[in-house]
Structure 1
Amino acid sequence: MLDATLKAQLKAYLEKVTQPFEIVATLDDSDKSRELSALLHDIVSLTDKITLREDGSDSRAPSFALNRPGADIGLRFAGIPMGHEFTSLVLALLQVGGHPSKLEADVIEQVKGVEGQFSFETYFSLSCQNCPDVVQALNLMAVLNPNIRHVAIDGALFQSEVEERQIMSVPSIYLNGELFSQGRMGVEEILAKIDTGAAKRDAEKLNAKDAFDVLVVGGGPAGAAAAVYAARKGIRTGVAAERFGGQVLDTMSIENFISVQETEGPKLVRALEEHVKQYDVDIMNLQRASAIIPAKQAGGLHEVQFDSGASLKAKTLILATGARWREMNVPGEQEYRGKGVAYCPHCDGPLFKGKRVAVIGGGNSGVEAAIDLAGIVAHVTLIEFDNQLRADAVLQNKLNSLPNVSIIKSALTTEVKGDGQKVSGLVYQDRTTEQLHTIELEGIFVQIGLLPNSDWLKGVIELSPRGEIIVDAKGSTSVPGIFAAGDVTTVPYKQIVIAIGEGAKASLSAFDHLIRS
């Protein structure tokens, strides 16, 4: 099952296991069960701390649980956790085996203190880069607290459950049999939902903090770079972010980050966060900015208010709130979001195996999505508003070579249709004839660009007609002492490498402002 290189790497990791435990597998006579059995035998052959039983009686096969004698741990994988989930498997083996987590000590104590009974189920796909964060967070919580149980389920192997629950987006998280959430979540986000009062306690902590010299709002590449450059100047630096990593967390493959030939968004985000944590930076996650109150006089303090009820003050601000996926804004889109309307083909594509889907958008993202989906689904219809595709020629050539792809140009999507439970079709208008047409399908992947996260700044900071923060060559905004960087600004070409450079520039400008004022 595992090649020699992977075995050697796994063996090195398993040397960190300090407490013996057993794997209990539930298998049947399927090929997938034999594949899982081979994987588990490979694992136990690498260490004498783990034993294997294949007499499990779980309702799902193939599946396996990790049990430690003397501990009540409710952690199970239903499926074969390879692909993006192999890291989740390795971490689960280490944590059940007694290796400590890198989670902050106060968060660990909060998890241990949660009361009640929480039975989580997470449906994932092996190609989903967002799913491991959820799986790993809930696995760790199950290790830390016996009141929390978790099973991670490969939706591709348990199609009957996916159909019954009408799951059309991963990760999909169920709690005690009811839909809990969809999309990427970490431990802190899950705690915020199940630990009532957590948000209020966090807000009180933030309100008590002293003013920062530089407060970065946003935790993407621009925000991370700004924080590093500010902290290196020895000034009091904070980062308040809705989620550290921002949009990069949703990026599958990155091949144009100079000096790194190829990487993935979540991997790059981990490196960015580790770099920031090398310095004395106060990172405050799960904080969505809602308003800004500029300093009333030169040298005064700017205030940022958050949805949580918290507020922070700082001598200078760097706004790096990034951008979000642009929506179609047509009837039915919100109603069927996560029920056939999706924005991440890598994550949700496997759930549409053998079905008909549409991709909205003919730029690089749209064409790449159509190419990827064509290898999974029965048929892809790409719909482009313009009279020609805007993707690179090499991508268009590949797209045109695929037999199960149709391309419709000069088309305006006007409605998402459904049966009340899931998507059943799409209506578009031919912009040449103005006639309406309906396509019967089961999935719609929207790939039409980005919108800046700047709504909360209207009337305070000068914005462009597109809603971007207007900045000068130094990253200065219309308000003295407030700077901005990254995809939320008017700087052209929304690229990771550009955002990092702009974040560094804005931070240097903020420091220059501090020493001059």
Structure 2
Amino acid sequence: MLDANIANQLRSYLEKLQRPIELIAALDESEQADEMWTLLQEIAALSPKISLRQDAAADRRPSFSVGQPGEAARIRFSGIPMGHEFTSLVLALLQTGGHPPKADAELLATIRAIPGTFRFTTFISLSCHNCPEVVQALNLLAVVNPGISHEMVDGALFQDEIEARQIMGVPTVLLNDEHFGQGRMTLEEIVGRLDTNAQQREAERITARAPFDVLIVGGGPAGAAAAIYAARKGIRTGVVSERFGGQVLDTLAIENFISVKETDGPRLAAGLEQHVREYEVDIMNLQQAAALLPADASGLHTVRLTSGATLRSKTVIIATGARWREMNVPGEREYRGHGVAYCPHCDGPLFKGKRVAVIGGGNSGVEAAIDLAGVVAHVTLIEFEAMLRADAVLQKKLFSLPNVQVLTSALTNEVTGTGGKVDGLVYTDRPSGQKQRIDLEGVFVQIGLLPNSDWLKGTIDLSPRGEIEIDARGASSLPGVFAAGDVTTVPYKQIIIAMGEGARAALGAFDHLIRTSVT
């Protein structure tokens, strides 16, 4: 299972174990069980601190637990954690073995103090790039707090349970067998939901902060670049964001970032945060902006957050990015997570052997259809315009696939369903005006982006599309407030363009500070 290079790297990691750990396998007669047992034997052979045995007492098989000898294990993997989840396995081994987790000391103290019993289960797919962060966060909770346990379940391996629970989006997290959350969640976000007083305490800490010279709202590529450029000027810089990395976290393959031949969104986002943290930047994560108040008599702008906290700054750079555009048709929101999805890489494996539709004929839509065609039984791509808008090379690949049908000049009217999940889609053939129905089990929406600017309406000038109007220096219509990235009127929503715009906005803000400081 492990090639020589990976085995050698893992052996060096396992030298950091400070106490013994025990792997307990619950196997069946399947081929996957044989693979799991081989993997566990190879891992156990890499460290004298790891013991391995079998025990059939488990609800799901094949599976294995990671724990300390003589104690009930609190981490379980139901499935073979390779691919994106291999790091989750390595961290579970290290942290169970006493290697300290990389988390803020205050946050770890909060986790230890959470009272009660919490039994988490996370359904994942091995191709999901959002799942590992959730798995690793919940595993860490289980290591730190004896009242918490966590089990990772590979949906592709336990397909019957996926069907029975009607899970059609990953990661899906259950707490004590009740729905807890779906999609990407950070450690801080999960802890905040378990510790009901955490949000109030954090809001008080944020409000108590001294005013900034530059406050950046948004932690994506534009916000990260703005933070670095501002901090390098030696001025007091803060970043407040819902999740550092922004929409990049939902991007899988990135092959057009100049000088980096190939990377993925989570890796790039981690690099952005690491780079920003090299400077004296105050990062306030998991915070959503609610309102912007123009500068008062003291020259300070105020940003109010949904948590009730407020932040003050001499200048503000808005880099809140954009979000997936919705179809806004009946059934879309009702069946979100139950057949309606927005990430083909994450949720595609859950539709293996099924019929699905992709809405949108741009690059994102065509790429999604190509990816899904290798997993599902059939893909119907639906485009409103008379022709696809994707790059020619992508269209050539799409039309070469035998299980893909393309419908152009088609208006999606409704997503239908029965039994709590999608069973079809209704569209209008625009040339004839006739409505048609397609029987299918999944709908992947890929129709572009909407700027995250709703909280700014009535405060600064926005375009008819809701984008912030800016000038050549990144300045908005409100003096001292700048903007950058996908939330602005700058065309071509690309990572590399957003970074450049973030740098420009930071330089514009610094120039504004210099000029307004002179009486």
Report TM bin, short chain.
Answer: over 0.9
Task: Supply the distance in 2 between the matched residues of 1:200 and 1:493 (Cα, whole angstroms).
Answer: 39
Query: Is the contact made by 1:24 and 1:56 (CA closer than 8 Å) also made in structure 2?
Result: no
One-letter code aligned to 1:429 = T
Q: What secondary structure, in the 3-state scheme, does the structure 1 residue paired with 2:170 have?
A: coil
Alignment of 1:180-329 (within 5 A): 180-297=180-297, 300-329=299-328
Q: What secondary structure, in the 3-state scheme, does the structure 2 residue paired with 1:22 have?
A: strand
Q: Runs ≥4 in structure 1, deviation > 3 angstroms?
A: 69-73
Alignment of 1:57-136 (within 5 A): 57-69=57-69, 73-136=73-136
Q: Which digits, 9 at most, give the CA deviation of each residue in 1:372-392, with x for residues without a partner?
A: 111111110000000101111
One-letter code aligned to 1:254 = I
Q: Which digits, 9 at most, give the CA deviation of each residue in 1:310-343, with x for residues without a partner?
A: 1100011010000000000001111001010000
Task: Supply the distance in 1 between the matched residues of 2:319 and 2:223 (Cα, whole angstroms).
Answer: 5
| Residue aligning to 1:6 | 6
Query: Is the contact made by 1:73 and 1:143 (CA closer than 8 Å) also made in structure 2?
Result: no
Deviation at 1:165, TM superposition (A): 0.5
| Residue aligning to 2:436 | 437
Deviation at 1:257, TM superposition (A): 0.8
Q: What secondary structure, in the 3-state scheme, does the structure 1 residue paired with 2:19 have?
A: coil
Q: Which digits, 9 at most, give the CA deviation of each residue in 1:257-293, with x for residues without a partner?
A: 1111101100111111111111111111111101000
Is structure 2 residue 489 aligned with structure 1 residue 490? yes
| Residue aligning to 1:481 | 480
Is structure 2 residue 145 aligned with structure 1 residue 145? yes
Bigger mean CA deviation after superposition, 64-73 or 326-335: 64-73
Query: Is the contact made by 1:452 and 1:488 (CA closer than 8 Å) also made in structure 2?
Result: yes
| Residue aligning to 2:424 | 425
Q: What secondary structure, in the 3-state scheme, does the structure 2 residue paired with 1:327 have?
A: coil
One-letter code aligned to 1:336 = Y
Deviation at 1:65, TM superposition (A): 0.6
Task: Supply the distance in 2 between the matched residues of 1:106 and 1:280 (Cα, whole angstroms).
Answer: 19
| Residue aligning to 1:25 | 25
Q: CA RMSD in A?
A: 1.0
Q: Which digits, 9 at most, give the CA deviation of each residue in 1:41-87, with x for residues without a partner?
A: 11111111111112242121111111113665511110000111111
Task: Supply the distance in 1 between the matched residues of 2:301 and 2:16 (Cα, whole angstroms).
Answer: 47
Query: Is the contact made by 1:413 and 1:427 (CA closer than 8 Å) also made in structure 2?
Result: yes
Q: How many residues align?
A: 516
Query: Is the contact made by 1:219 and 1:246 (CA closer than 8 Å) also made in structure 2?
Result: yes
Structure 1 residue runs of 5 or longer lacking an equivalent are none
Task: Supply the distance in 2 between the matched residues of 1:54 and 1:264 (Cα, whole angstroms).
Answer: 37
Query: Is the contact made by 1:463 and 1:469 (CA closer than 8 Å) also made in structure 2?
Result: yes
Query: Is the contact made by 1:73 and 1:142 (CA closer than 8 Å) also made in structure 2?
Result: no
One-letter code aligned to 1:197 = N
| Residue aligning to 1:453 | 452
The 1:389/1:316 distance shift into structure 2, 3 A limit, reads same
| Residue aligning to 1:395 | 394
Deviation at 1:296, TM superposition (A): 3.3
Task: Supply the distance in 2 between the matched residues of 1:348 and 1:173 (Cα, whole angstroms).
Answer: 14
Deviation at 1:28, TM superposition (A): 1.1
One-letter code aligned to 2:506 = S
One-letter code aligned to 1:278 = E
Query: Is the contact made by 1:73 and 1:146 (CA closer than 8 Å) also made in structure 2?
Result: no
Deviation at 1:420, TM superposition (A): 4.5
One-letter code aligned to 2:496 = V
Identity rate, percent: 67
Task: Supply the distance in 2 between the matched residues of 1:311 and 1:321 (Cα, whole angstroms).
Answer: 17
Task: Supply the distance in 2 between the matched residues of 1:271 and 1:93 (Cα, whole angstroms).
Answer: 24
Q: What secondary structure, in the 3-state scheme, does the structure 2 residue paired with 1:451 have?
A: strand
Query: Is the contact made by 1:221 and 1:500 (CA closer than 8 Å) also made in structure 2?
Result: yes
| Residue aligning to 2:358 | 359
Structure 2 residue runs of 5 or longer lacking an equivalent are none
Task: Supply the distance in 1 between the matched residues of 2:71 and 2:488 (Cα, whole angstroms).
Answer: 51
Query: Is the contact made by 1:220 and 1:248 (CA closer than 8 Å) also made in structure 2?
Result: yes
Task: Supply the distance in 2 between the matched residues of 1:63 and 1:230 (Cα, whole angstroms).
Answer: 49
Alignment of 1:165-184 (within 5 A): 165-184=165-184
Task: Supply the distance in 2 between the matched residues of 1:432 and 1:5 (Cα, whole angstroms).
Answer: 58
One-letter code aligned to 1:411 = A
Calculate the TM-score normalised by the size of structure 2.
0.98
Bigger mean CA deviation after superposition, 121-130 or 66-75: 66-75
Task: Supply the distance in 1 between the matched residues of 2:39 and 2:72 (Cα, whole angstroms).
Answer: 24
Is structure 2 residue 54 aligned with structure 1 residue 54? yes
Q: Which digits, 9 at most, give the CA deviation of each residue in 1:478-508, with x for residues without a partner?
A: 1111111111011111111111111111111
Query: Is the contact made by 1:215 and 1:317 (CA closer than 8 Å) also made in structure 2?
Result: yes
One-letter code aligned to 1:109 = A
Task: Supply the distance in 2 between the matched residues of 1:264 and 1:88 (Cα, whole angstroms).
Answer: 17
Task: Supply the distance in 1 between the matched residues of 2:86 and 2:436 (Cα, whole angstroms).
Answer: 44
The 1:402/1:103 distance shift into structure 2, 3 A limit, reads same
Task: Supply the distance in 2 between the matched residues of 1:133 and 1:42 (Cα, whole angstroms).
Answer: 25
Task: Supply the distance in 1 between the matched residues of 2:201 and 2:72 (Cα, whole angstroms).
Answer: 29
Query: Is the contact made by 1:486 and 1:502 (CA closer than 8 Å) also made in structure 2?
Result: yes
Q: Which digits, 9 at most, give the CA deviation of each residue in 1:213-251, with x for residues without a partner?
A: 111100001111111111111211111001111100000
Query: Is the contact made by 1:476 and 1:484 (CA closer than 8 Å) also made in structure 2?
Result: yes
Task: Supply the distance in 2 between the matched residues of 1:17 and 1:363 (Cα, whole angstroms).
Answer: 49
Q: Which digits, 9 at most, give the CA deviation of each residue in 1:325-377, with x for residues without a partner?
A: 00000011110010100000000000001110000001111011101111111
Task: Supply the distance in 1 between the matched residues of 2:282 and 2:69 (Cα, whole angstroms).
Answer: 39
Is structure 2 residue 417 aligned with structure 1 residue 412? no
The 1:303/1:71 distance shift into structure 2, 3 A limit, reads farther
One-letter code aligned to 1:493 = Y
| Residue aligning to 1:341 | 340
The 1:477/1:311 distance shift into structure 2, 3 A limit, reads same
Task: Supply the distance in 1 between the matched residues of 2:91 and 2:480 (Cα, whole angstroms).
Answer: 43
One-letter code aligned to 1:509 = G
One-letter code aligned to 2:426 = V
